[in-house]
Amino acid sequence: MTSARLKRVEESATIRISNIANRMIKEGTDVINFSLGEPDFDTPKNICDAAAKAMYGGKTHYSPSAGIPELRAAIAEKLKTENNLDVTEKDVLVTPGAKQGIFEIMMGTLGDGDQALLFDPAWVTYDACIRFSGADTVWVPTVPEKGFLPDNFADYINDKTKLIVVNSPGNPTGGVFGKKTLKCIADIAIDHDLLVISDEIYEKIIYDREHISIGSFDGMQERTITVNGFSKAYAMTGWRLGYLTAPPEIFKLLQKIQSHSVSSATTFVQYGGLEALQGPQDGVKAMVDRFKMRRDILIDGLNKIGLECKKPDGAFYAFANVSEYGNGTKVAERLLKEAHVAVTPGIAFGSSGEDFIRISYATSIDRIREALDRLEKIFA
C-alpha cells in the first residue's frame, strides 16, 4: 500500500538526530544541539515588518505560481549584479524554500534509469530527491586532505549520467570550490553534455574567499540550474522562501511541477524576501562576522582536544575527523549519551564521511565553549 519510490528514500539523519535531542531537552536534559543547519539569529526586523505590512495590506491571496513580479525582478537583478548571470525576471521561479526547488529540479530532469553525480560527502536531501525521481545516485569520492575537492570524477560518467550537483560553499564540509575546480566541472559538463545543479544557498556565508557561480562560465548558462534562497543569509529558515533560474525549456517543466503541487510560495512572505534583497545588508555582514568568530573558537578548540578539523571556508559547519576514537556514528552516539552534545554522523552525507562528525556552529559562543569543555572530558 506504499509507493515503491518512497521505499527508496531513507529518513533524514539530521532531522532524526535533532528530534532525539529535542526530546531529551523536553525531558529536562541540557543538550547542546549542533545537529541542524539553521542560523540561530532572528530574521531582521525590516524584513518582518515588510511581510507584516503586506499581510495586513491584503496580500493574502494566491500569488502567480512563479512568484510576484516585483520579487522575480529583484532576484534577476541580484543574479545579474552579484552572480554574473544573464537572466530576466521571466527566468526566475520563486519556490517555497530552496529544498522544494531542488526537489522540482530532480523530478523535472531525471527519470528511471538516469544517474546523477554527487561529490561525496553531500547534503542528505540531494540523494533523497534523486531517488524520489526514480534515478540513481553515483557517489564520487573526494579528497579530505584537499578540502574534499573532487578528483578524476570524469571516470564516473557514462551514457546514463544526466547531471552533476555542485554545492559551494558546501554542506557538510563548509568547503568552497575555487575557479579552477569549477572550470574543470564546467568543461566536463560541456564535453559530456550534462546539466549542472548549482546550489548556492550558503553563498553569502563565506570567509576570506570569493563566491563564484558556475553558471557564469562560458557555455554554462544553457546547462546550469542555479538554486538559492533566503533561509541562511537572512536567517529566514521558517519562512520557506527560495528561488531558481534555469534554461527556458527546463524552466517550463519546473513551473509545471510547481503549479500542480505547491502552487506558489506564500504571498506575503515574498514581500519579506523583496525587502531582504532591497533593504539594508548590514545584518548579513554582522551575522557572517559572528559565524567567523564562532568558527575560529570551535576549530581551535577541537584541534586542541585532538579532533582533527580543518577550518572551513564557508557555511557554518565543522567536519571533524574522529577516527582515532571510532567511526562517526559511534562517536555521535557517545557524545549524545555521555556529553549531551548532539552532532550528526558524517556517514549520513556519504561513505566518505564515515570517520567524521558534522558540527553546526549556529549557536552562541558560550554554548560552543561549554560543548568543548564537555568534549574534552570525553576525549581526554
pLDDT at 380 over 80: no
- The mean pLDDT of 73-90, rounded to a whole number, is 98
Q: Nearest-CA neighbor of 362 among 205, 176, 229?
A: 205
Q: Which residue has the higher pLDDT, 183 or 21?
A: 183
pLDDT at 11 over 80: no
Lowest-pLDDT choice from 6-15, 241-250, 276-285? 6-15
Residue with C-alpha cell 539569529? 41
- pLDDT tens digits, residue range 352-377? 999 999 999 999 999 999 999 999 99
- The mean pLDDT of 295-301, rounded to a whole number, is 98
**121 prior amide bond cis, ω within 30:** yes
- Beta-strand pair 341-342/195-199: unpaired
CA 79 to chain centre: 18
Query: Which distant-in-sequence residues (6+ apart) come within 8 Å of 365 by Cβ?
Result: 293, 294, 297
pLDDT at 328 over 90: yes
- The mean pLDDT of 211-220, rounded to a whole number, is 98
Q: How far apart are CA 349 and CA 174, in angstroms?
A: 13
Nearest 10 degrees: Cα torsion 44, 48, 50, 51: 140
Q: How far apart are CA 54 and CA 34, in angstroms?
A: 35
* pTM exceeding the 0.85 threshold for the entire prediction: yes
Domains of the chain: 4-43+282-379 (3.90.1150.10), 61-278 (3.40.640.10)
Query: Which distant-in-sequence residues (6+ apart) come within 8 Å of 291 by Cβ?
Result: 205, 207, 316, 361, 362
Q: What local confidence, expressed as pLDDT, does residue 147 receive?
A: 80
Helix (H, G, I), strand (E, B), or coil: what is residue 119? strand
Q: What local confidence, expressed as pLDDT, does residue 22 receive?
A: 83
CB 142 within 8 A of CB 119: yes
Percent of the chain clearing pLDDT 70 (strictly above)? 99
**SS3 sequence, 125-189?**
HHHHHHHHCCCEEEEEEEEHHHCCEECCHHHHCCCCEEEEEEECCCCCCCCCCCHHHHHHHHHHH
